[in-house]
Chain A
Amino acid sequence: MSERQVEVEILRYDPETDQAPKLQSYSVPCQEEWVVLDAITYIKDHIDTTVSFRWSCHMAVCGSCGMMVNGEPALSCKSFLRDYPDKIRIEPLAHFPIVRDLVVQLDDFMEKLNRVKPYIIPKEKKSVSDGQHKQSPAQLKAFNQYTLCINCTLCYAACPQYGLVPDFIGPAAMALAHRYNLDSRDGGRDQRQEVVATDEGVWECSFVGACSDVCPKQVDPAGAIQQMKIASTVDWYKEHLMPWSKP
């Protein structure tokens, strides 16, 4: 196994002692197959135990370890060192307040996720003894892509609009609203529209598409938001031009 010396710069910030964040540099002997997270845990274990960051699964499914790697939002457990030069800069996810070092505050995202009602609002009450819903593979496929969101919030760090307008509900939460709207078991779209078909919702998106570019799970939140815009426009026309068409 070949080894490579990599200079890893980490943004350090402890609100108890620091006026402002600053970069701290570490020289790390890295194995060729390592990911960026491996270099950071090496620092934690062998060089500086005070570095704070979140991580768990090391397989890109828990969504804990999102960071800015050389300026781009990425999951550090799936960012391979082989794809980076010998100097790497690690910073906390953009657009979120820093709690400490690479740990950011997620309260705003959690609140927005809650607000879009990301759960089945059943068309009709059904008890477990009534058995399962039928859902064809095609009906599943209609929304399945939007179920894949791991809530890593890379898309919020990438979204220029969220950076400018913090009230924007943002890509991941909108994609999850869309996911439930499209589910054949769901009847809650009207309730979600009150949240997403607003100036804080779909109409805030400027369709830069950065969210879909950085999504590690190919959820395509930008596509979801565009589809919601079109559907919301159709709603508007139905309501204003064809009031009789509304059930």
Chain B
Amino acid sequence: MEKIQIDIAIVGAGGAGLRAAIALAESDPNLRIALLSKVYPMRSHTCAAEGGAAGVIKGDDSLDLHFSDTVGGGDWLCDQDAVEYFINEAPKELTQLEHWGCPWSREPDGSVAVRPFGGMKIKRTWFAADKSGFHILHTLFQTSLQYPSIRRFDEFYTTDLLVEDGRCQGCTAIEMSTGLMYQFQAKSVIVCAGGAGRIFSFTTNGAIKTGDGMALAFRAGVALKDMEFVQYHPTGLPGTGILLTEGCRGEGGILVNKDGYRYLQDYGMGPEPPIGEPVLKTMELGPRDRLSQAFWHEQRKGNTIPTQWGDCVHLDLRHLGEKKISERLPLVRDLSVSYVGKDPVHDLIPIRPVVHYMMGGIHTDINAATTMPGLYAAGECACVSINGANRLGSNSLSELLVFGKRAALNAIEYISSSGKDVDDAAVTKLANEAQGRITTLFQKSNGTETISGLRKEMTDTMEQGAGIYRTEESLKETCNKLNELRSRFSAVELNDKSNVFNTDLFSALELGAMLDVAETVAVGALERKESRGSHQRLDYTQRDDNNYLKHTLAYHDKTDAPRIDYRDVVITKSKPGVRDYSGGKK
């Protein structure tokens, strides 16, 4: 087996991974860095983010306001020390990206422009038209090319973390083009492998978002935190689940039901302002959890519009006019015309809530450190707890920058202060064992289960039991189903016996990761007997701060469902209160 000896390995080369890599290379050009990803960096899913990145920059804004928007938006499940750090750093990181060439949209005077976003009291979302994530990713990727110490391993699928002596000392990965296993011996590993939206059937997430990074850490013994909090984005295109950015509503778009009525005013987010004069933090600029929940109620009332792809409501952008739509929302127009045949300039766009983001992830502290020495995580795969029970749109792009960098700097600090080297013999043994497990899976014949069949049963049960509204009954059914799927997975059939770009094998590995991650979502949701943010229980409809002002920690069990534990939320200055999106009118 090829052995690569480095100082720090980064798993995942999207926004967080690239930001971490650049921070490492800038800090010390002599650091040996390996940047691994199962796709080329520019294919990473950061590219699909549209609306923008939040950071306080304008004179009418303040760090305190961003703090209170974020903590209230997260229904007080945020760790407030982490939020405070995040909010302080976000403007610096966005400015850094500006220096690196990110084509941020501009005001007439040449300063960076900001747009309104849901749940934010002040306009503070930096944007590059409606391709903000794309531009952030490419700016980071292209910037990273000038650092020769960043050694990239594109299209390497990471299979295991190598943990010896309680420390993370590297990882194993398969070179996809050859099927060869490599061991990466590293003093520290940073996991930046993104989300897991693909555990649901209807999602904005690309095919690659299968929770691989979360599963890596989980199986190595690190807890996944707050996994039951799954964000439904209110405006997905039906059928494909393609995202239409919240920027649509930031620019003044409205949501109407089958009667053309702005139904959000019936769900505590009114009163309705005149069309074209959006009021921040109310109505269409409420938070995503509330908007998606309102859709569910409208559907129950029979106020949605039946379409060939299921029930929808309408997003109306027509009053914005062609010039503004083309200038601020060109991608939205293109996607809408192409995939549902509706031109936002002239037509109502059918939309429905769609799984978009995992608030939960690998349990990290404010230093982006996990509980395992040497292991760090950042971006969507991590849960540093700035998003709590519901993330505000445009906080995640800033988050991956702030904590990608932080993970890198702390990993450097760790390897220089711990002074510990990789235990070559012990780690090689672990790597050989990992290789053995892959070989067994690869060579197995006479499987009775198909990857696509198991995957469909998993996504169906997640959608049915762990969706926008949940009950004990629905969640128990989902937990049982996932348990069953986990055992059936051992009989999975691999037809492809080639070593070269064997996507059958990688699909199987991804499915294994997704089953693990899905179970933490369902079990965490079953155990959380309250409603908070994106986690809504029809049988426990109120927030319960006495019992559940706590983070859920899910620990891996080799043979059974995850074990659940809890941890206190860090509260510094904002006591849990009422989330008010009524514009003060109640």
Interaction A to B: yes
Chain A residues in the interface with B (C-beta under 8 A): 1, 14-17, 33, 44-46, 49-64, 78, 80, 99-101, 103, 105-106, 110, 113-114, 117-120, 122, 126, 128, 131-137, 139-140, 143-144, 147-151, 176, 180, 183, 185-186
Binds A, one of B100-108, B380-388, B406-414: B100-108
Which residues of A sit under 8 angstroms from B338, Cβ to Cβ? 60, 78, 80
B101 x A56 contact (CB < 8 A):
no
B501 x A176 contact (CB < 8 A):
no
User: Quick one: given A128-B99, A150-B134, A176-B142, are A56 and B45 in contact (CB under 8 Å)?
Assistant: yes
Query: A119 to nearest B CB, angstroms?
Result: 5
User: Quick one: given A56-B207, A118-B142, A140-B105, are A61 and B40 in contact (CB under 8 Å)?
Assistant: no
Query: B101 to nearest A CB, angstroms?
Result: 4
User: Quick one: given A100-B498, A103-B501, A185-B101, are A62 and B206 in contact (CB under 8 Å)?
Assistant: yes
A100 x B452 contact (CB < 8 A):
no
Query: Which residue on chain A has the smallest CB distance to residue B48?
Result: A57
B98 x A62 contact (CB < 8 A):
no
B498 x A17 contact (CB < 8 A):
yes
A61 x B499 contact (CB < 8 A):
no
User: Quick one: given A59-B48, A59-B240, A62-B45, are A99 and B135 in contact (CB under 8 Å)?
Assistant: no
Cα A137 to Cα B106 in complex, Å, equals 6
**CB neighbors of A among B322-346 (8 A):** 331, 335, 338-339
Query: Which residue on chain B has the smallest CB distance to residue A133?
Result: B98
Query: Which residue on chain B has the smallest CB distance to residue A136?
Result: B110
Cα A144 to Cα B39 in complex, Å, equals 26
- Starting from the known contacts A49-B450, A110-B40, A131-B95, 12 additional A-B residue pairs (CB-CB under 8 Å) come to A1-B308, A49-B504, A56-B206, A58-B206, A58-B240, A100-B501, A101-B501, A133-B110, A134-B109, A137-B108, A140-B106, A147-B103
Which residues of B sit under 8 angstroms from A106, Cβ to Cβ? 40
10 A-B pairs within 8 Å (CB atoms) are namely A44-B452, A52-B500, A52-B501, A56-B207, A62-B43, A62-B47, A120-B100, A133-B110, A136-B106, A137-B107
Which residues of B sit under 8 angstroms from A14, Cβ to Cβ? 498, 500
User: Quick one: given A59-B335, A143-B103, are A15 and B495 in contact (CB under 8 Å)?
Assistant: no
Which residues of A sit under 8 angstroms from B242, Cβ to Cβ? 58-59
B interface, how many residues as a size bin?
35 or more
Query: B523 to nearest A CB, angstroms?
Result: 28
A119 x B101 contact (CB < 8 A):
yes
Which residues of B sit under 8 angstroms from A15, Cβ to Cβ? 500
B502 at the A interface (CB under 8 A):
yes
Cα A148 to Cα B9 in complex, Å, equals 30
B146 x A119 contact (CB < 8 A):
yes
User: Quick one: given A57-B45, A78-B338, are A49 and B496 in contact (CB under 8 Å)?
Assistant: yes
B500 x A100 contact (CB < 8 A):
yes
Cα A56 to Cα B203 in complex, Å, equals 12
Which residues of A sit under 8 angstroms from B243, Cβ to Cβ? 59
A132 x B112 contact (CB < 8 A):
yes
Which residues of A sit under 8 angstroms from B499, Cβ to Cβ? 16
User: Quick one: given A114-B145, A118-B142, are A62 and B48 in contact (CB under 8 Å)?
Assistant: yes
Chain B 426-464 near chain A by CB (<8 Å), digits 1 or 0: 000000000000000000000000111000000000000
B103 x A144 contact (CB < 8 A):
yes
B92 at the A interface (CB under 8 A):
yes
Q: Tally A-B pairs: CB < 8 A.
A: 155
A99 x B177 contact (CB < 8 A):
yes
B131 at the A interface (CB under 8 A):
yes
Cα A183 to Cα B338 in complex, Å, equals 31
Cα A139 to Cα B109 in complex, Å, equals 11
Query: Which residue on chain B has the smallest CB distance to residue A1?
Result: B308
B498 x A50 contact (CB < 8 A):
yes
A58 x B207 contact (CB < 8 A):
yes
Query: A184 to nearest B CB, angstroms?
Result: 9
A120 x B43 contact (CB < 8 A):
no
A120 x B99 contact (CB < 8 A):
yes
Cα A177 to Cα B191 in complex, Å, equals 32
Cα A17 to Cα B497 in complex, Å, equals 10
B101 x A186 contact (CB < 8 A):
yes
B504 x A50 contact (CB < 8 A):
yes
B30 at the A interface (CB under 8 A):
no
A132 x B111 contact (CB < 8 A):
yes
Query: A188 to nearest B CB, angstroms?
Result: 10
B208 x A46 contact (CB < 8 A):
no
A46 x B452 contact (CB < 8 A):
yes
A134 x B111 contact (CB < 8 A):
yes
**CB neighbors of A among B112-166 (8 A):** 112, 131, 134-135, 138, 142-143, 145-146, 154
Cα A50 to Cα B496 in complex, Å, equals 5
Cα A46 to Cα B501 in complex, Å, equals 19
B509 at the A interface (CB under 8 A):
no
Cα A17 to Cα B335 in complex, Å, equals 40
Other-chain contact of A117, B146, B335, B339 (Cβ < 8 Å)? B146
B490 at the A interface (CB under 8 A):
no
Which residues of A sit under 8 angstroms from B451, Cβ to Cβ? 49
Which residues of A sit under 8 angstroms from B542, Cβ to Cβ? none
Most chain B beta-carbon contacts within 10 A, residue among A62, A99, A126: A62
Which residues of A sit under 8 angstroms from B240, Cβ to Cβ? 58-59
A132 x B98 contact (CB < 8 A):
yes
Which residues of A sit under 8 angstroms from B100, Cβ to Cβ? 119-120
